[in-house]
Structure 1
Amino acid sequence: MNPVVDYLRISLIDRCNFQCQYCMPEGAELEYIRKQEVLTDAELLTLLREVFIPCGFSRFRLTGGEPLLRPQVVSLVQQIAALPETQDLSMTTNGFLLADLAQGLYDAGLRRINISLDSLEPEVFNRIIGNRGRTRWQQVWSGIQAAHRVGFDPLKLNVVVIPGVNDHEVLDLAALTIDRHWHVRFIEFMPIGNGNLFGDKGWIDSETLRQQIHQRWGLVEARVRGNGPADVFQIPGAKGTLGFISQMSECFCDRCNRMRLSADGWLRPCLLNETGQIDLKTALRSGVSTRELCAQVQVLLDLKPAINFKQRESGTVGTYTRTMSQIGG
């Protein structure tokens, strides 16, 4: 039985103040979306109220690029949170601007947040985010502390494990969950955004990471299950949990309950497959009725069970042309 697709990941902006190795091609100059091509707040809210919510969507995650670079982002969060049909609103951020915005976002109605933290070592962190100047690790750590202080729960830390780069920190990162009610999620490295790095480094499967942690502390399945693709475990007696997102080793396409809306209004059914994607922005600006747009979205929803990234890997269907930062993760 196919899951109910009620979860929309919304990219607010394709720009980012980091250039993470696993997200953008190293040294590449990306062609960013022109400002006038980005969905306005009013257009996005119209799509939510008159297209997505009538099609059954009630859970929304705001992503980027880096969503905190979006002008007036706190106001937009407040307006989405205020929609009567919004059952869950969350955000994924790199945390660099979060220290100053955490309280405002929480007051606006945001309650769940995911923050990328791929290393606890400033030099390694700098290497991963593509920063050759002053380290940004402390600013991100301050953002995490601010999010914890104002009450975000759950507070999730996303870790993309890259062999030979940060895999030696798996136990240190897992240990963050012992005394804190935090949720660390280890994500298998994918060949999107920087295929050359993937080819050089490869990836480490989640089972290998679980075995490392189990050998150190033991590991049990968590009683609280996640809403997304993560398999959730816990160090015995720990306050927080450990999630493992295993899109490379353990395909979870049959559990996928989400679609993705890019900053310029393209709706796609799969992270790594553009089959059937719809240009909602152009249609909306051309005067197509929201009733017709809703009908188009429903067609894509009906197609979604047959569209997945494993098919793309085998060459039987679809393609993708954007990097992770341009898609919204």
Structure 2
Amino acid sequence: MLIDTYGRVATDLRVSLTDRCNLRCAYCMPEEGLQWLAKPDLLTDDEIVRLIRVAVTDLGITEVRFTGGEPLLRPGLVGIVERCAALTARPQMSLTTNGIGLTRTATALKAAGLDRVNVSLDTLRPDVFKTLTRRDRHHDVLDGLRAAREAGLNPVKVNTVLMPGLNDDEAPDLLAWAVEHDYELRFIEQMPLDAQHGWKRDGMITAGDILTSLRTRFSLTPEAEERGAAPAERWLVDGGPHRVGVIASVTRPFCGACDRTRLTADGQIRTCLFAQEETDLRGALRSGAPDEEIARIWKVAMWGKKAGSGLDDPAFLQPERPMSAIGG
């Protein structure tokens, strides 16, 4: 197992397939000037599948989430999913995406074995979308969401980040829209993972702000089920069956129950989104290390996982890598 010194066991693997993206969301990437990983530094499809196989068969991983950058930009994505679906025991597989490209890939991904998707959408207003993402692709995301639902990639979850002065007034409208279309909406506090290092705690929209806004229109009842290691606190909307979630990594950290391990697109193990250290698996792979050695390196890395993200520590330093290069 991937166990740490605090007794937490990692069963959820987040795999970044690329650091590239076809949007430039203000809370994630600058409009221009971000240097991409060189192609030789990226893991190949075979290397990704091998590492996932080691994680699933030797290290107890039961869930795999494909992330980016934008994972739909990875040419071999469908094949990677199909090969991982053939593993024993088969992991649950999901994808975090901006939704652009789902209209052409959702059916193939479902046939390959993908179980569900999380789609990022921060606004219902095309003009605000263009301001936030610096691209005019709002309709493509909406089309992608419909394609995912029709392909059976359910539950379709929608991830939303609220930004002051841009979309912070949209929480109730977004929830009403999600309920109407049978999507599960999850609000995510903005985290200090932007490439330009412009995040400020005193300027963020908090979980408390979000819930106060939602309650102006909806009745929210805490879900009875135990949250466990799930990052989102969830509430029944007007008694159910629809739910809304809030991921409050900054103001309500959930590090004590964390069950995640992360693999970057260039083959580095990260124990936390906010970790300053990484452990290289790509070098071991390419030097001919057997699976047993890969597993040993991975276990040692996770054994050293820190107790928490350190966001409340006055000495906290934002990771050098932005979210787009770490994987969500």
Please give the TM-score of this superposition, normalised by the length of structure 1: 0.91
- Which residue of the partner structure matches residue 314 of structure 1? 314
User: Which secondary structure does the structure 2 equivalent of 1:29 belong to?
Assistant: coil
Classify 1:147/1:239 alpha carbon distance in 2 versus 1 (closer, same or farther; 3 Å): farther
- 287-296 or 189-198: bigger deviation: 189-198
Q: Distance in 2 between matches of 1:4 and 1:200?
A: 30
1:23-38 matched pairs, under 5 angstroms: 23-24=28-29, 26-38=30-42
Contact kept? 1:23, 1:325, Cα under 8 Å: yes
Classify 1:236/1:3 alpha carbon distance in 2 versus 1 (closer, same or farther; 3 Å): farther
- Which residue of the partner structure matches residue 199 of structure 1? 200
Note the C-alpha offset of 1:80: 1.1
- Which residue of the partner structure matches residue 165 of structure 1? 166
Note the C-alpha offset of 1:243: 0.5
Contact kept? 1:231, 1:243, Cα under 8 Å: yes
Q: Distance in 2 between matches of 1:223 and 1:84?
A: 33
Contact kept? 1:270, 1:307, Cα under 8 Å: no
Residue in structure 1 matching 2:243, options 216, 241, 244: 241
Q: Distance in 2 between matches of 1:59 and 1:189?
A: 25
Q: Distance in 2 between matches of 1:297 and 1:18?
A: 32
Note the C-alpha offset of 1:301: 2.0
- Which residue of the partner structure matches residue 120 of structure 1? 124
Q: Distance in 1 between matches of 2:54 and 2:193?
A: 32
Q: Distance in 2 between matches of 1:19 and 1:173?
A: 21
Residue in structure 2 matching 1:130, options 108, 131, 134: 134
Note the C-alpha offset of 1:53: 3.3
Q: Distance in 1 between matches of 2:217 and 2:311?
A: 37
1:1-329 matched pairs, under 5 angstroms: 2-24=7-29, 26-51=30-55, 53-131=57-135, 135-194=136-195, 197-199=198-200, 202-223=203-224, 228-275=230-277, 277-304=278-305, 306-310=306-310, 313-315=313-315, 320-329=319-328
- 223-232 or 75-84: bigger deviation: 223-232
Note the C-alpha offset of 1:209: 1.1
Classify 1:194/1:44 alpha carbon distance in 2 versus 1 (closer, same or farther; 3 Å): closer
**Larger helix share, 1 or 2:** 1
- 8-17 or 69-78: bigger deviation: 69-78
Contact kept? 2:195, 2:321, Cα under 8 Å: no
Contact kept? 1:98, 1:147, Cα under 8 Å: yes
Instruction: Please give the root-mean-square deviation of Cα atoms over the aligned residues, in Å.
Output: 2.1
Q: Distance in 1 between matches of 2:175 and 2:250?
A: 21
Contact kept? 1:185, 1:243, Cα under 8 Å: yes
User: Which secondary structure does the structure 1 equivalent of 2:169 belong to?
Assistant: helix
Structure 2 unmatched runs, 5+: 1-5
Classify 1:180/1:238 alpha carbon distance in 2 versus 1 (closer, same or farther; 3 Å): farther
Cα displacement string for residues 12-60 of structure 1 (whole angstroms, at most 9, x for unaligned residues): 1111111111111x33411111112111111111112235531211210
Classify 1:231/1:144 alpha carbon distance in 2 versus 1 (closer, same or farther; 3 Å): same
Q: Distance in 2 between matches of 1:45 and 1:312?
A: 36
Please give the TM-score of this superposition, normalised by the length of structure 2: 0.92
Moved over 6 A (4+): none
Q: Report percent identity of matched pairs.
A: 37
